[in-house]
Amino acid sequence: MNMTTTDRRLPAEWEPQICVLTAWPHKETDWAYMLPEVTECFRNLISKLSEYVPVITVGPRAACAETFEACGFNPEMVTFADSPTNDTWARDFGPLTITENGSLKCIDFKFNAWGLKFAANFDNLITLALESKGLLPGCRENRLGFVLEGGSIESDGKGTILTTEECLLSPNRNGDMTKTEIESYLNESLGSQRVLWLSHGALAGDDTDSHIDTLARFAPNDTIIYCGPGEADDPNTPELVAMRAEIKDLRTADGKPYHLVELPLPDPIYDEDGMQLPATYANFLITNGAVLMPTYRQPRKDTLAAMMLQSVFTDRKIVPIDCLPLIRQHGSLHCVTMQFPK
């Protein structure tokens, strides 16, 4: 544990938000082969999201204008920002926004496409592009010397960060730093006081090296909502059983056990080549007055997951979003959104 004295704080996701960042799919992304289907998914997501919070959507206007404008979004709630993009995973290339001295700072970490797996030359510059257009809700802080994706960490808003060793200790991210050095850097840059690490939870088909937002999420009242194991023959089950045991051993800053809520694991979903995809219900987005929850056209599991989330977020509406198209590119709802706190 590395204590900090700064008043920097990374708010919890359930705190009030000023807007949410998304990126529009287009023919120059990996969505090209299924563009109509995924465009409809984004149309539905942004339409529902904009009922609760303003939305900024980035993309190259020449490639996006026709499909974006055809959706007829409310211009008072949805703003389009013209900027080249490699893909649509706003959670990971968007800034992490902290509070400091009563103002917001948008921390611009380096995005290298999950350890140099894909191109990121445009996406790594999106925070800078938003700043140049006056669309950042706070000042930009340059941290491009450190690789960090938004989906790789969870904040409880009280100084605790939850993450995974598989991701943050990846040699293709910050391989020149030790675990202790990475923990210290997180505390210094985000204002946290401690980091909780999970060493289990790897999912089949996960390009991100075990992003925490597919596995376990903080919620109000010292709660952790996590992805439970599936059937015995599901290849993800052993890792999720081990992760559950780790989570049960975690303690709050004052030494108490967390309240734990287990989500069902969707039935296995496969791509065209027979590869299992990393679908989980943990990839939800908490926003003003609502929790947008991914569904996968599995009525029984979808309904059960919604009931579990409603039991935690009693003050919010649970809004289901069909994310079967998103999971075909190995991501889901939380992965394509990044909130900016008030």
Please list the active-site residues. Answer: 335
Here the tokens at position 4 are: 């900090």
Going through the chain in order, the beta strands assigned E by DSSP cover 17-23, 55-59, 78-82, 96-100, 103-110, 139-147, 153-155, 160-164, 194-198, 216-219, 223-227, 259-263, 285-287, 290-295, 317-322, 338-341
CA distance 291 to 313: 8
**Is residue 173 helix, strand or coil?**
helix
Buried b (16+ CB within 10 A) or exposed e, 148-167: bbbbbbbbbbebbbbbbbbb
**CA-based nearest residue to 322, from 255, 269, 274, 253:** 269
**Is residue 104 helix, strand or coil?**
strand
